[in-house]
């Protein structure tokens, strides 16, 4: 740094070409090309961190203060610092910094059969049947600093007595099939590889027939737990405006999961279609729009007390839905059950069991893919949303009690009105309700005798 400045009496000069070389070569500040745009970052060996002008200026002054600028037997460090402060507005211009050498780094990404976890003590390559550790200094590709977990990982198989393992079992209702399903969903979200054939969002609901506000079941605690393994951006579901051009302005490069927590009843899932299937556009105030390519863009996770609206193949193929057991509630909380606050009061041993369980989930997913179970309550609530509760109860009872699945349309329509006291707007609307019920419940429906009869077959 001493070669940057020359001091002659009260006259201080800066060699500007050496100054920008110093920022780039000695301090690691540079630009990377992303979506044909330049993103200002700092590189330390193979670790890249997002940065900004304030961090650069503060970092430069920290280095400057560590020097002793001795001229004419007098320490002139403060004079040099004051000189630079007077020139901040001209030396650290964004357009000037864009002249720093731009690089196109190749990142260490997950692939179809492999997932990489980044801990303080190394990089762990996870495949379906083995785990291999690599030191950061031995990497040939780059890693985002915000993806490095601030813990050391010690591999072991002692996970079943961990509180988080037991917590996930309770969220699954202690049902083996549902537990394996939830393991696979956790693994899917932690695996950074994005298959272009299956661009799906995970949605967690409460296991309940009602479509009401019911907190305390553990949905949010489970979903936020993923942020202790992968870089996660959490959004407030009730207040998010997905049509706002700055919706994703807080998403950093290197973010792996976007969690929309507690989405509102009015949430429009179709607003996610584009970002699930394509790249993620990020527009920040006074900055150029950049688009994270699909392969490197975050996966989406939602929690909701209400069934997310939308039916048909375009919706179904973009959703992985899971119903959380109502074991936990406002009275029975994880704190009461396990005697400790998750993530806050855990010791190293508990964190180790958590980390190893999450790796187990990744391996289970790599072996089995996403194991989906039938979201019974969600299907019923979706039908109610599209029809009405009286109709659902009526058609369920009628199908349970009859041995003859062939019935005159007028007879079923009149029977519904007589039984419930509810009159649809028209017979056409009633027929649409019948179709909706059969489509969601996967019941075959046809029409007989000149379209005068419903014919049901399971």
If pLDDT is split at 50, 70 and 90, which confidence band does 39 have?
Answer: confident
Please choose, from the candidates 224, 199, 183, the residue with its C-alpha nearest in 3D space to the C-alpha of residue 299: 199
- Residue identified by tokens 């207040």 is 239
> Which has more pLDDT, 209 or 223?
223
The number of C-alpha atoms within 13 Å of 14 and in the hemisphere containing its C-beta is: 19
Asked if 256 and 147 touch (Cβ cutoff 8 Å), the reply is yes
For the segment 217-226, what is each residue's pLDDT rounded down to a tens digit? 889 899 999 9
- Residue identified by tokens 């900055």 is 287
Stretch (H or E) spanning 233? strand 232-236
In degrees rounded to 5, what are phi and psi of residue 124?
A: -115, 115
Q: How far apart are CA 132 and CA 142, in angstroms?
A: 18
Asked if 242 and 268 touch (Cβ cutoff 8 Å), the reply is yes
What residues contact residue 37 under an 8 Å CB cut-off, 6+ apart?
288, 289, 290
Tell whether the model's pLDDT for residue 215 goes beyond 70. Answer: no
Mean per-residue pLDDT for 356-373?
97
If pLDDT is split at 50, 70 and 90, which confidence band does 199 have?
Answer: confident
Tell whether the model's pLDDT for residue 212 goes beyond 80. Answer: no
pTM of the model: 0.84
Sign of the CA dihedral running 55, 58, 63, 66 = negative
Mean per-residue pLDDT for 199-207?
91
Token representation of residue 205 = 């609901």
Residue 360, helix vs strand vs coil = helix
> What's domain 163-375's architecture?
3-Layer(aba) Sandwich (3.40)
Token representation of residue 170 = 């309770």
Q: Provide the pLDDT for residue 210.
A: 59
What is the DSSP secondary structure assignment for residue 24, as one 8-state letter?
I
Our CA angle for 147, 182, 213, nearest 5°, is 95
- Residue identified by tokens 């291999």 is 132
* DSSP-H helix ranges across 217-267: 219-225
Q: How far is CA 305 from CA 213, 220, 262, 263, 384, in A?
A: 6, 11, 7, 8, 15
């Amino acid at each position: 740094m001493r070669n940057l400045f020359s001091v002659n009496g009260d006259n201080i000069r800066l060699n500007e070409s050496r100054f920008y070389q110093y920022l780039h070569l000695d301090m690691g500040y540079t630009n990377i090309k992303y979506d044909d745009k330049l993103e200002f970052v700092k590189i330390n060996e193979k670790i890249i961190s997002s940065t900004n002008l304030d961090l650069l200026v503060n970092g430069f002054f920290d280095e400057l203060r560590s020097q002793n600028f001795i001229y004419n037997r007098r320490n002139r460090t403060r004079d040099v610092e004051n000189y630079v402060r007077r020139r901040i507005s001209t030396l650290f211009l964004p357009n000037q910094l864009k002249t720093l050498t731009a690089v196109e780094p190749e990142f260490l990404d997950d692939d179809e059969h492999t997932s990489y976890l980044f801990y303080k003590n190394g990089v762990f390559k996870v495949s379906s049947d083995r785990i291999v550790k690599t030191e950061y200094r031995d990497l040939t590709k780059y890693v985002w600093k915000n993806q490095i977990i601030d813990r050391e990982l010690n591999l072991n198989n002692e996970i079943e007595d961990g509180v988080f393992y037991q917590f996930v079992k309770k969220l699954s209702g202690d049902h083996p099939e549902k537990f394996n399903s939830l393991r696979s969903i956790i693994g899917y979200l932690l695996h950074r590889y994005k298959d272009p054939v299956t661009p799906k969002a995970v949605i967690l609901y409460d296991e309940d027939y009602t479509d009401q506000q019911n907190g305390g079941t553990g949905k949010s605690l489970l979903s936020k737990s993923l942020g202790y393994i992968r870089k996660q951006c959490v959004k407030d579901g009730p207040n998010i405006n997905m049509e706002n051009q700055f919706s994703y302005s807080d998403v950093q490069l290197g973010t792996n999961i976007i969690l929309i927590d507690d989405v509102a009843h009015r949430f429009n899932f179709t607003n996610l279609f584009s970002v699930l299937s394509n790249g993620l556009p990020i527009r920040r105030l006074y900055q150029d729009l950049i688009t994270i390519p699909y392969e490197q863009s975050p996966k989406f996770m939602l929690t909701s007390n209400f069934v997310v609206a939308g039916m048909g193949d375009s919706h179904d193929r973009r959703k992985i839905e899971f119903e959380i057991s109502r074991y936990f509630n406002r009275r029975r909380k994880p704190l009461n059950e396990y005697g400790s606050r998750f993530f806050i009061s855990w010791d190293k041993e508990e964190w180790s069991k958590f980390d190893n369980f999450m790796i187990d989930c990744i391996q289970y997913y790599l072996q089995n893919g996403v194991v989906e179970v039938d979201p019974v309550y969600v299907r019923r609530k979706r039908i109610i949303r599209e029809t009405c509760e009286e109709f659902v109860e009526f058609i369920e009872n009628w199908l349970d009690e009859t041995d003859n699945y062939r019935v005159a349309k007028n007879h079923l329509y009149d029977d519904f009105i007589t039984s419930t006291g509810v009159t649809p707007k028209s017979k056409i609307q009633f027929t649409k309700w019948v179709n909706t019920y059969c489509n969601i419940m996967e019941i075959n429906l046809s029409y007989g005798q000149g379209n005068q009869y419903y014919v049901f077959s399971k």
